Structure formats: C-alpha cells, structure tokens
Amino acid sequence: MAASPADHLPHLDRVLPQGEKVSLEHLFVQRQRYTAAVQKPPGGDFGRARLISPLRALGAGLMITPYAYVWFHAMTAKGLKRLLNFWPPFLFSGIRVEHISDDWRHARVRLKLRWYNRNYVGTQYGGNLFSMTDPFWMILVLERLGRDYIVWDRAAEIRFVAPGRGDVIAEFDISDALLNTLRTGVAEHGKVLHWCETPIVDARSGDTIAVVRKQLYVKLKPSRSVRSDLATAELAEHQ
C-alpha cells in the first residue's frame, strides 16, 4: 500500500521543541526535505507520479503550515514589513509598506501610480486604494493589545474625495486613548465594535484622495474571558 503524503509529515515535537523560534530559512529547509522524501514514486512509475503530483504539493503545504504559523506569530514589525512587500496582492498592485514602527503603533503605506495599476481613465484604481489600508488597523491593534484578545475587521467603507493622479499615502496611528477605549469596552460588555478612520492623501500635495473607515471587532479569547470573570468575582468577595 502506497504511503500518503500525510505519512511523511514530521512529528512537530521532534522538529520543533517547545519554545524554539523558527526562522524562514528553517521552514524552507524542512520543505525541501519533505519534497525530496516524496519525489520518487514507488517502482519508478513516472506516469503515476504525474497524476499524484498535486497531492504531493498539497502534502508539502500541509507540512510547512505549522512552522509558518509559529514563525508568523514570532515576527517582528520589520519582518512583517518585508513580508508584506513581497506579498503578491501588494507587490502586483504597486502597494509598498514604507514603515511599521517597532512598537506596532504606527504604519505608513504608499500606493504607486503605474501603467499597470491605473483605472480606465488613468487615475488610481479604487480597489487598490481600499486594499492599501486593509490589514493594518487589525494587525496593529492586535499586536498592541496582545494575544489574549481576538481582533477582526467587522465592516468597512470607502469615500472617494478626488481622483488620484499620482502616488498616494495612508498612515495609521495607534493611540493610548484608542487602546484604553477598546480594553474598557471589552471589560464592560465582553466585546466591542469600534470605527477607525484613515485618510488617503496625495504624496506631493497632501490633498485628501479618499477616506477609508474600518470597524474593528475586539473581544477576549474564551479562556482569558473566564479567567477575567473569576478574578473579578474573587475581588468582589474580598471587598
């Protein structure tokens, strides 16, 4: 009976001891080892190899997923900036992340106007204007609040103010007031919905081209929520 791609997956505990940080180089080394392990089919049947090659590719993706998950959650702000600048939805749309501060409080993103990303009338494409703002409120707020919280985008809207005839810039700032509002709302109501607004401005003139609003959904993770309720109850009893 032929081995399935899943049979070649290394045991996570053997390859990734608890507490070990994983580098991007380590991920690709593991993927290459997996690819070599399943490259040759039993009996040298190359026709059969072509038929099951998609399954092998899927197996390789499954193998690297646990390492990628750990690596992503240990990523620095500079590491995320580099990754996003090679991420195809940004790379092929002319979107470039210029800065993410080490404390995750500020980000600046530029959308370049190029021949391949213009709209029908030669100005900035509205979908790209929206995309350049898409993940940043969620990422920055999640990093500032910590992994005890769940943060999602719940809703979004964009208002076009003027045509973009050149490069445009969007900036994001996470203030203490915003973080306190979110923490207080979660503590009082269990979850909170909050709108964040980002103006997109012309890189030269500073004129507003569009305004994007994102609604964040924030709550404590279930296990953390139970602990918080128990702590509150114990404090009330002592008082």
Residue 209 CB-density burial (10 A; 0-12 exposed, 13-18 middle, 19+ buried): buried
Q: Which CATH class is domain 77-226?
A: alpha beta
Nearest to 55 by CA among 42, 39, 69: 39
Q: What is the pLDDT of residues 130-179, one digit of tens each?
A: 999 999 999 999 999 998 999 999 999 999 999 999 999 999 999 999 99
Domain with CATH 3.10.129.10 in the chain: 77-226
The tokens describing 80, both together, are: 């995320």
The per-residue pLDDT for 229 is: 52
Residues 6+ apart with CB under 8 A from 114: 94
Could you tell me if 153 and 138 are in contact, meaning their C-beta atoms sit under 8 angstroms apart?
yes
Distance, in Å, from the CA atom of 198 to the CA atom of 180, rounded to the nearest integer, reads 19
Q: Indicate the range of 28-32, 109-113, 210-214 predicted with least confidence.
A: 28-32
